Amino acid sequence: MTAVAGLLAVLAGGAAAPDGFVVLREVDPGIGQDMRYAGARNFTGGVVDGYEEPECLLARPAAEALRRAQQRLRRSGRSLRVYDCYRPQRAVDRFVRWARTQDGPGDRATKAEFYPNVERDRLIPDGYIAERSGHSRGSTLDVTLVELTGREADMGTAFDFFDPLSHTDDPRVTGAARANRQLLKRVLSEQGFVNLPEEWWHFTYRPEVYPDTYFDFPVAVASVRP
């Protein structure tokens, strides 16, 4: 790909998704959803730009692979719950702006939950927040295990915990939490997902449908319908 073509492929705007994106709830309504950036429980403390509805949108192959993983897990008494799926570029831009500001009094609760051991001005240099995210290409998602009762499994840390303890194979994570991380990784890997080693919850389905394009349409059911 030439440099010019690469720049043109970096970002695709517009209000609608291209053909091939689906609403996960319509592919498998049994997969739980706790879409953190559509609400206040996330490291920014508020709804993030571009999240108009608490819905998981994905490229169809990724959604169908996740459905297969869900079927496999349910046979063993577990289920999946997603925290984030497709993420518009405007949301990534919001994360970057947030990371470049100083903590204020209203940020103490989010710091305690999500980044207690690192200062906000280190989140970009230390690689926790970046100016581009694979989520914007439509085949990446953040996911955890839950019991069939709905109770979240012990994964050793919370979702979006900015700390080396979140590394999938951190040796300090042992017992049930380590077993749960390995189970999640194994079941998703069997369906074509690749884990990001620094985040136990982060998986990308490969081959990606849109490996070079970062989309910016909003997270809303209407975005994937004509």
Catalytic residue set = 199
Amino acid at 164: P
Among 133, 52, 67, smallest CA distance to 99 is for 133
Q: Output the DSSP codes for 102-165.
A: ---GGGHHHHHHH-TTS-GGGTTTTTSS-SS-GGGGTSEEEEEEEETTSPBPP-SS-TT--SGG
Residue 115 exposed, middle or buried by CB count within 10 Å (0-12, 13-18, 19+): buried
d(CA 51, CA 7): 25
What letter does residue 218 receive in the DSSP assignment? -
Sign of CA dihedral 191, 194, 195, 201: negative
Nearest 5°: the CA angle 39, 40, 42 is 100
Q: Torsions phi, psi of 34, nearest 5?
A: -135, 75
CB atoms within 10 A of CB 68: 15
